[in-house]
Amino acid sequence: MSETLKITGDRVVSMHYTLKDDSGEVLDSSERGEEPLQYLHGHGQIIPGLEKALDGMSEGDKVELTVSAEDGYGDHDPERVMRVPRSKFEFAVDPGEVVEAQHASGQSHNFLVVEVNDKEIVLDGNHPLAGKTLNFSVEVAAVRDATEKELKHAAKENGPAH
């Protein structure tokens, strides 16, 4: 009989999940005929509150948990909301759309179009789930040791694990 692996750093975790807001609306789910979400534990590839809650679990374990905004996508930061003159946009945008802007460093960032009028466009650079409490239903589908290739890739993408 093989040993049941527990979720710890440098292990690849496959999990099915459903994410709901406080009103019970489903925001995201892997249960819609998709493969389980797979991530490398301990490398910041999922939100901190969820990663911490899964630590020590094993294949087949199920958990219902609530993650605060602080341990999820952070609080909504008013500094990330900006007003841009309408003249800066050479294309039409409508509230609810997402636009991509490129920083001088070359990095790109998505902004939600919040408001459009004749003079300006209001953009919100916060993550759409910032400031929200997140309610997860999770089932651990599999746990395995990461390969050297996966660990090297994670180190290259995120820097060394802490």
List pLDDT tens digits, range 104-156: 788 888 999 999 999 999 999 999 999 999 999 999 999 999 999 999 988 87
140 with 61: CB under 8 angstroms?
yes
Secondary structure percentages of the chain, helix, strand, coil, to 5: 15, 40, 45
Distance of CA 130 to the CA centre of its chain: 10
Q: What is the pLDDT of residue 154?
A: 85
Q: Which residue ranges form the domains of the chain, and what is each CATH number?
A: 11-73+131-158 (3.10.50.40), 78-124 (2.40.10.330)
Q: Is the pLDDT of residue 162 over 50?
A: no
Residue 142 and residue 134: Cα distance in Å, rounded?
23
**C-alpha closest to that of 14 among 71, 58, 48:** 58
The model's pTM is 0.80
Find where tokens 């290739």 sit: 149
Q: Residue 47 is which amino acid?
A: I
Task: For 29-61, write each residue's pLDDT tens digit.
Answer: 987 677 899 999 999 999 999 999 999 999 999
Q: What is the pLDDT of residue 85?
A: 95
Say which residue, 32 or 6, is predicted with more confidence.
6
Confidence category of residue 1, pLDDT binned at 50, 70, 90: very low
39 with 13: CB under 8 angstroms?
yes
Q: What is the pLDDT of residue 45?
A: 94
Tell me what the mean pLDDT of segment 72-80 comes to: 95
Task: For 56-71, write each residue's pLDDT tens digit.
Answer: 999 999 999 999 999 9
Q: What is the pLDDT of residue 134?
A: 97
Residues counted in the chain: 162
